[in-house]
Amino acid sequence: MKILLVPDKFKGSIDSITLCKLMQQAIAASYPDAEVESFPMADGGDGYSSIIKHYFGTKDAQALTVDPLMRQIKASYQISQDGSAAYIEMAAASGLALLADNERNPMKTSSYGTGLMILDAIKRGAKEIYLGIGGSATNDGGIGMADALGYIFLDKNGDPLEPCGENLSSINEIVMPETDLLEDIHFTVAYDVSNPFFGLDGAAHVYAPQKGADAAQVDELDEGLKHLDTVFMKYFGRSVEVAPGAGAAGGMGGGCDVFLGARLVPGIDYLIESISLDDKIAAADILITGEGRLDEQSFQGKVLGKLIGHARTHGTKLYAICGDSSMPIKDLNAMGVDRLVTLTALAGSKEEAMAHPDKFLSAAIKKIL
């Protein structure tokens, strides 16, 4: 029996590299004859940098930057051994995990810190920059990042605006960078969801509430992104309304498309291709994947949803071990998940499952196999 372990992290609980090790140990203890290979995953969100280091042998770099509320911090990213390529995780500077619950406010938060990390990588000589944009605390359409890289956003009076969500609707003019800093830099952006830039399925309506926005603020942020798209048309001659990945990370995907000329790719697709994972799936009998919470968003560009297509193509069984799930098993079966076990069901509570996932993984493996 050939088993592939291809989980995402369980956000706020356990990273995917550690998860693979524990799952592999559990399989070895109960099924010693099984042939097991592990491929920890990340979709462009939290944990992206550590996965890049795991597969590509990059080295650590550290930048002096700011968090989503503009407080000075240090943040790490990855750089290739020859220094030509940098791999930056947006969440390291602009992530929701950097804020206390009572600090979450996408009207005020900014992606400026991510821009400072990009600037640091360019100053070190990187010509290829890969940016993972999941896990953000922001809904600013990437204007914070752009501001750090030399763009200036002016209101109708010609005064500079703070680059944050609440000021999106006030942008009247974009002043282009004075330097050629971004010239000859190639950007690839790995996104984790495929929502449009604005609208009922867009960045603000779907994700701003979990970043702290109330209903009125969601509407204001959505209108702000819609307005920003009209400004893009005026100054760049194109719209990103329905560009794949444009709505990821509070519109950061669309901002990267316009301000950086970036190529946007699903984060999981980039990894699958880079490590030739599809060939491994074809040769396996069972693929075990998982994530912290399984819900409808899992099928909008995240790891589990992407792996279903590969497993179906090759007739490989796909099993999921997740922290929790909000979906009926019959619906999951119809979508391509053959079996599901949640740690919450085994632990008796979500809090216990999150605090001590290692206690329940062995039982989860036995149950699902």
DSSP 37: E
Contacts of 283 (CB under 8 A, 6+ apart): 2
Average pLDDT, the chain: 95
- Over residues 219-258, the pLDDT tens digits come to 999 999 999 999 999 999 999 999 999 999 999 999 999 9
Phi, psi angles (nearest 5°) of residue 189: -110, 125
pLDDT beyond 90 at 297: no
**Confidence band (pLDDT; 50, 70, 90) for 134?**
confident
Residue 270: per-residue pLDDT? 84
Strand spans (E) along 84-175: 85-89, 128-132, 152-154, 173-175
Helix/strand/coil percentages in the chain, nearest 5: 45, 20, 35
Closest CA to 285 of 319, 237, 244: 319
pLDDT beyond 80 at 108: yes
Question: 3-class SS at 67?
Answer: coil
- Over residues 194-205, the pLDDT tens digits come to 899 999 999 999
Closest CA to 221 of 295, 168, 282, 153: 168
pLDDT beyond 90 at 42: no
C-alpha to C-alpha distance for 108 and 355, rounded to whole angstroms? 31
pLDDT beyond 90 at 332: yes
- Over residues 169-217, the pLDDT tens digits come to 999 999 999 999 999 999 999 988 889 999 999 999 999 999 999 999 9
The region, left, alpha or beta by phi > 0 then psi within -120 to 50, assigned to residue 40 is beta
Residue pair 95/70 in contact (Cβ under 8 Å)? The answer is: no
Residue 75: per-residue pLDDT? 97
Mean pLDDT of 24-45: 92
How distant, in Å, are the alpha carbons of 251, 275, 285, 297 from that of 206? 11, 31, 36, 10
- Give the percent of the chain with pLDDT over 90: 89
Q: All domains of the chain, ordered by start, with CATH?
A: 2-39+276-368 (3.40.50.10350), 48-268 (3.90.1510.10)
How distant, in Å, are the alpha carbons of 39, 53, 89, 120, 320 from that of 129? 23, 15, 11, 11, 33
Q: Which residues pair with 41 in a beta bridge?
A: none
Mean pLDDT of 341-354: 95
Does residue 280 or residue 192 have the better pLDDT?
280
How far the first Cα of the chain sits from its last, in Å, is: 11
Name the strand (E) or helix (H) holding 267: helix 267-274
Residue pair 144/137 in contact (Cβ under 8 Å)? The answer is: no
pLDDT beyond 90 at 109: yes
Q: What's the burial of 266, exposed, middle or buried (CB within 10 Å: 0-12/13-18/19+)?
A: buried
Name the pTM for this structure: 0.88
Residue pair 236/176 in contact (Cβ under 8 Å)? The answer is: no
C-alpha to C-alpha distance for 42 and 345, rounded to whole angstroms? 25
**Confidence band (pLDDT; 50, 70, 90) for 101?**
very high
**Confidence band (pLDDT; 50, 70, 90) for 12?**
confident
- Give the percent of the chain with pLDDT over 70: 100
pLDDT beyond 90 at 89: yes
pLDDT beyond 90 at 107: yes
Mean pLDDT of 249-278: 93
Residue 193: per-residue pLDDT? 84
pLDDT beyond 90 at 322: yes
pLDDT beyond 80 at 281: yes
pLDDT beyond 90 at 302: no
Residue 77: per-residue pLDDT? 96
Mean pLDDT of 335-356: 95
C-alpha to C-alpha distance for 5 and 359, rounded to whole angstroms? 18
Residue with the two structure tokens 């974009």: 174
Candidate ranges 7-16, 37-46, 60-69, 327-336; pick with highest mean pLDDT: 60-69
C-alpha to C-alpha distance for 230 and 240, rounded to whole angstroms? 10
Mean pLDDT of 132-147: 96
Closest CA to 267 of 313, 303, 299, 309: 303
pLDDT beyond 90 at 124: yes
**Confidence band (pLDDT; 50, 70, 90) for 48?**
confident
The region, left, alpha or beta by phi > 0 then psi within -120 to 50, assigned to residue 57 is left
Mean pLDDT of 296-303: 80
